[in-house]
Structure formats: structure tokens, C-alpha cells
Amino acid sequence: PWRRRAPLAALLAVLLGWPAPAAAADALRVARAFCQADGRGARLGAGSWSAVAPMVAWSLDPAWDRIHLISGFQLGDPRRRGDTTEIEVQYTIVADVTAAGVVREPHVETRTLTLEPTGDGSWRLRGPPAPPFVFASEADADALAELLDPANGQYLSNSGFVWSLLRDAGWELPHRNVTDLPSAPGYGAQRTANVGDLALYYDHGTPYHVAMVESDDRVVSATLNGGLRRTPFGAFAGEIRYLRPGAATPTPAPTPDSTQRRGDTEKEE
């Protein structure tokens, strides 16, 4: 008897590991919607993060200390990888913004978005998350750089937060962006963590988030959509490496007695 034959595209999808046409279209739609929302600045503030929340697998976005300004993006064809779908996106970057200032060196950066099925027929992006890629037409680069400066006081980035904790503990270390911390003088890499160490979360060899170790099973960090949060170590995706302030000597906070003695001496002089 005659039986309905499967479409050739569907057979190729099974044989070659391609996503089925409908699934590929859905994954591509989610990836495009995420990039568009990100470009409009949805990941620059807690109030707008809900625009991307249904499209991502991570529940907490870092309080970013780096923002890429772009003129546009281009999505590639979906590729099946087991249960996930990968889509390359090419960003045309016109400026990189950090607390150190604005670097205007146009270039193209390619990233791979990994999407996983949600169980209800849709897709969502798997972490670790990349820093925001914001349309240059939507942002003032110099104003963003000023905002990212931890000395400004209006916005507390993840690196700015741990820097403030270190300063409160007496460590006289300059602020470093997350990506610069592994090579920053004054820190030593550690195999295991002690309370007060920095936990760096990596995405393909580059740190994207930093927290401070608070206990054997908790870290504390600044997040975009959750404020200052105490979380388990595994709350953020990616490999974790540890840094310990150790090459610099902390300056102990003065005790009341020492302050009084120093004041008396000054008066006598």
C-alpha cells in the first residue's frame, strides 16, 4: 500500500544532524529576538531585563563592567549539536566601553549562541552570557563609560563591587575590569578558594563575572537584575577560577586606640 513519504529535508535533517526546518526557524527566531532586545539595551538595567528573561536559561545577569556598541549584527544558519542548536552571530562593533573609557576601534566579533529546547516547543539561550551588544544609535558611549566608573557611585558593576569589598578590608588595589583581573598585579591564582578570595567565572577562556567567596558554599556578587546576591558557587555558568589578593600588603583599619594615640601625637607636635 502507498505510504506518505517523509520530506527530503526532514530525512537529511535526521541523517546529517541538521535541525528540522520548523525547529531551525524557531531557534533562529529566538536568537534574532534576543539580539534585537539586547541591541535596544534590555540588559543595561533591571527594569528592562524582563524583555530577555523568557529567552535565556540563566536567571541572573552579571552587573556588567563592559559594553560593546554595535552598528548591527548578522545571524548564520542554525546547526544541530545533539539536543541543542548553535547559531553564529557576527557583531559589527564600533566601540568598546569600560570604566577605563571608550575604545573606538571598529571590528567584527563572531560569537556562537547555543540554544536549548524549553520543553514547550520553544528555545532559549544557554549560558554563560556574553556582555551586552548595544546598538550605538541607542547609547551615549562617553556617558556609559562614566556610569561604569566605580568612583561615580551611580552604578555598581560586578568588578566595582568586589573592589569596594577589598578596599573595605584594607587592600590598596586599583580597580580592574573582570577581563583584566587574571593578569592584574596584586593577585595570586589559587586551586581552591578561601573566604575573601575572588571567584572568576569563565566563558571560553575569558572571565565574564566576578564574585567574592563568602563561605564554603556561597559567593556574593553584583547582578544586573537581582542586585547584590548571595548564591551557591554554581549559580553562574562556566569554569570557576580563584584569585587571592596576596602580592600587595593590606593596610589595617586603624583601631580607636591607635587613632587616639595618633591624634594626641599630632596635638603635641
Q: Could you report the per-residue pLDDT of 64-98, keeping only the tens digit for each? A: 999 999 999 999 999 998 999 999 999 999 999 99
What pLDDT sits at residue 134?
98
What pLDDT sits at residue 93?
98
Q: Could you report the per-residue pLDDT of 139-196, keeping only the tens digit for each? A: 999 999 999 999 888 899 999 999 999 999 999 999 999 999 999 999 999 999 999 9
Q: Would the pLDDT of 247 be above 90?
A: no
Q: How far apart are CA 240 and CA 209, in angstroms?
A: 10
Q: Would the pLDDT of 123 be above 70?
A: yes
Q: Which grid cell sits at 12? A: 537529511
Of the candidates 103, 97, 105, the one whose C-alpha atom is nearest the C-alpha of residue 147 is 97
More confident residue, 176 or 258: 176
Band (252; pLDDT cuts 50, 70, 90):
very low
What pLDDT sits at residue 152?
84
Q: How far apart are CA 211 and CA 162, in angstroms?
A: 7
Q: Could you report the per-residue pLDDT of 6-62, keeping only the tens digit for each? A: 455 444 444 444 455 556 779 999 999 999 999 999 999 999 999 999 999 999 999
More confident residue, 9 or 104: 104
Of the candidates 241, 221, 244, 246, the one whose C-alpha atom is nearest the C-alpha of residue 231 is 221
Q: Are 83 and 116 in contact (CB under 8 A)?
A: yes
Provide the sign of the torsion angle of the four alpha carbons 146, 149, 153, 157, taken in this order: positive
- pTM for the model stands at 0.83
Q: Would the pLDDT of 248 be above 60?
A: no
Provide the sign of the torsion angle of the four alpha carbons 69, 72, 76, 81, taken in this order: positive
What pLDDT sits at residue 52?
96
Q: Are 107 and 96 in contact (CB under 8 A)?
A: no
What pLDDT sits at residue 22?
56
The HSE-up count of residue 98 (CA atoms within 13 Å, CB side) is 14
What pLDDT sits at residue 151?
87
Q: How far apart are CA 14 and CA 19, in angstroms?
A: 8
Q: How far apart are CA 53 and CA 61, in angstroms?
A: 10
Neighbouring CB atoms inside 10 A of 230's CB total 12
What are the E-state strand segments in 173-231? 187-190, 198-203, 206-213, 219-223, 227-231
Cell 584569585 identifies what position?
243
Give the H/E segment covering residue 27.
helix 21-39
Q: How do beta strands 66-75 and 84-98 pair?
A: antiparallel
According to DSSP, the residues that pair with 98 across neighbouring strands are: 66, 101
Burial of 94 (0-12, 13-18, 19+ CB in 10 A): middle
Burial of 122 (0-12, 13-18, 19+ CB in 10 A): middle
